[in-house]
Amino acid sequence: MVSLLLLGMLAAGLAVLIIGADVFVGQAGKLALTFRIPPLVVGLTLVAFGTSLPELAVSLNAALEGNPGLAVGNVIGSNLANTLLILGLAASLTALPVSRECVLRDGAWWIIATLGFVLAAQSGGIGRLEGACLLAGLALYLFTALRGGVDFAEEVEQEDAPRHGARNWLIIAGSLGAIWAGSELAVHGAVGLAGRLGVSDTVVGLTVVALGTSLPELATTLACLRKRGTDMLIGGIVGSNIFNIFAILGITGTVATLPVAHSLVTFDLPLLMIISVGALVMLRTGWVVSRREGIVLLGGYAAYLGTTAYAI
């Protein structure tokens, strides 16, 4: 009976999340014209932040409840899921053209954020100093990302920008709420099922919770594919990886010190760095992520899950 209830929570969460993500992507695309901002910038900021809300909630709750390992593992696992699973799935369905700006500017920020995470973890934990440094990195990133929309805005005439009122903002707020609520339901259902199966907290943080909190990225990615918004798709994945490190670890680290397990420092974090650089190289080769590369990414995620489960 309990298992059926948990399965129902998981299914309901997925349904609410997918519907909310579909609505959110549509409204985010309209915002790009309303404020004369390119879809890539919307993906790198608004979409990325909105889909990173579940990671922030889980990490904060875990740290405040005395489970900091779950918070750190959630960020690592979510970034691996974004890169290997979500980008891989999208590319395996159709080749994804890539913006040069996304690779050269935002890809560089992606690597900087990941390297900052690796270096901060070398001391054995992420505290207020490291958290403040990560938040400073977030501020610099947002400044450069938002400046990217200035030239585009100058090219769009005022009459070309549709006007949106309070109703549109309510729709955006409602869709974000649906993403949050759906993710919470899905994560609680998945974690509950994992607990009944006797899976350890470490595995849950790196895999089940990470997969659950990455569901908004998956849902918005599928919605972007349906709407052919590849710029917003790539921007959302790259931006989410940056937000997960700078914003989530930055905010959580200033609230509670996050000790980093030795196994994460010696295996998972170096792997995250290697995969991030490798994915960026894929984006750079021909300025497209091919279907073959997508299949390679999916295979890499399957191998990671197998290795993690075996090691623990």
Q: Which helix (H) or strand (E) holds 153?
A: helix 150-155
DSSP 85: I
Burial tier of 209 (Cβ tally within 10 Å: 0-12, 13-18, 19+) = buried
Tell me which residue range forms the domain holding 233: 39-154+200-311
Confidence band for 191, pLDDT divided at 50, 70 and 90 = confident
146 is a domain residue: yes
| pLDDT (tens digit per residue) in 201-253 | 667 778 878 887 787 778 778 877 887 767 778 888 888 899 999 999 999 99
Whole-angstrom Cα distance, residue 131 to residue 144? 20
Domain contains 86: yes
Work out the average pLDDT over 175-179. 83
Do the domain assignments include residue 75?
yes
pLDDT of residue 63: 81
CA 281, CA 277: separation in Å to the nearest integer? 6
| Residue 278, domain CATH | 1.20.1420.30
**Distant-in-sequence, close-in-space partners of 228: CB < 8 Å, separation ≥ 6:** none
Predicted pLDDT at 190: 74
**What does the alpha-carbon distance between residue 129 and residue 135 come to, in Å, rounded to a whole number?**
10
Q: What is the pLDDT of residues 286-312, one digit of tens each?
A: 889 999 999 999 999 999 988 876 655
Q: What is the number of domains present in the chain? A: 1
Give the pTM. Answer: 0.81
